[in-house]
Chain A
Amino acid sequence: AQSVTQPDIHITVSEGASLELRCNYSYGATPYLFWYVQSPGQGLQLLLKYFSGDTLVQGIKGFEAEFKRSQSSFNLRKPSVHWSDAAEYFCAVGAYNNDMRFGAGTRLTVKP
């Protein structure tokens, strides 16, 4: 079965600084990759997804992610973080029958 590793449990960045959240996956076939964001007390919201095609994917709220097959990675980036980006971020890999596996999450704190 597929699996996801998010190496960073907690990241702190200053407002206006750039952000990169790491995600590594393990899956034998072509993966379907997702990033979700969870604000406190809320459900998860899709930021972006990769199914096929261009390996650089644009999402909502100014986020992007790059699929690198050779590194089994799907890192999330944002050039300039806003205080409202403070949340928990989950990477997920999907397979046939929508079998979705989530990473443990990365909590982002934004310093003023």
Chain B
Amino acid sequence: EAQVTQNPRYLITVTGKKLTVTCSQNMNHEYMSWYRQDPGLGLRQIYYSMNVEVTDKGDVPEGYKVSRKEKRNFPLILESPSPNQTSLYFCASSPLSRQGYGELFFGEGSRLTVL
């Protein structure tokens, strides 16, 4: 089954304790991206990757890191989480047309609480 898989789905942590949210897709998509969803703000892009070893900042990258060593994986790293990073996180992937765009396929989300 074609899917985007995120882990963990739920996490409660404390300020400053490094954590990684994994994301994996099995559709051979070039493009992958991380979003955070907060009430009233919709989805805001954190980082995105157009292909292996190519990553770039989205609208809200502060406090996050990513890497894209393999095509299928795109982990999100919070080196020193803070309470304002409490949010619902979504990973997404997309095939890219020659014109450089495509529809997003989303994971089921990871709800993170930072105390």
Determine if A12 is an interface residue (Cβ-Cβ < 8 Å): no
Residue in B closest to A32 when the chains form the complex, CB atoms: B101
- Minimal beta-carbon separation of A111 from chain B (angstroms): 23
Give the number of chain B interface residues (Cβ < 8 Å). Answer: 27
Q: What per-residue 1/0 map shows which CB atoms of A36-59 lie under 8 Å from chain B?
A: 100001111110010100000000
How far is it, in angstroms, between the C-alpha of A97 and the C-alpha of B100 when the chains are bound?
5
Stretch at the interface among B13-21, B40-48, B64-72, B74-82: B40-48
Which residue of B43, B94, B96 contacts A90 across the interface (Cβ within 8 Å)? B43
* Interface residue tally on A, bucketed by range: 20 to 34
How far is it, in angstroms, between the C-alpha of A100 and the C-alpha of B100 when the chains are bound?
12
Mark out the residues of chain A between 8 and 37 whose CB falls within 8 Å of any chain B CB in the assembled complex.
9, 32, 34, 36
How far is it, in angstroms, between the C-alpha of A43 and the C-alpha of B35 when the chains are bound?
11
How far is it, in angstroms, between the C-alpha of A98 and the C-alpha of B43 when the chains are bound?
14
Asked if B108 and A43 make an inter-chain contact with CB atoms under 8 angstroms apart, the answer reads: yes
Determine if B112 is an interface residue (Cβ-Cβ < 8 Å): no
Residue in B closest to A1 when the chains form the complex, CB atoms: B59
Residue in A closest to B38 when the chains form the complex, CB atoms: A104
Contacts between chains A and B (CB distance < 8 A), count? 61
Asked if B41 and A104 make an inter-chain contact with CB atoms under 8 angstroms apart, the answer reads: yes
Which residue of B31, B99, B107 contacts A43 across the interface (Cβ within 8 Å)? B107
Mark out the residues of chain A between 64 and 112 whose CB falls within 8 Å of any chain B CB in the assembled complex.
90, 94-100, 102-105
Residue in B closest to A9 when the chains form the complex, CB atoms: B40
Instruction: Give 7 nearest A-B pairs by CB, closest first.
Output: A43-B106, A102-B42, A102-B43, A104-B42, A44-B106, A43-B108, A96-B100
Residues of B participating in the A interface, judged by any CB pair closer than 8 Å: 4, 31, 33, 35, 40-45, 48, 50, 90, 92, 94, 96, 99-109
Residues of A participating in the B interface, judged by any CB pair closer than 8 Å: 4, 9, 32, 34, 36, 41-46, 49, 51, 90, 94-100, 102-105
12 A–B pairs (Cβ distance < 8 Å), ordered by A: A34-B103, A36-B106, A41-B108, A43-B4, A44-B92, A96-B101, A98-B100, A98-B104, A100-B33, A104-B41, A104-B42, A105-B42
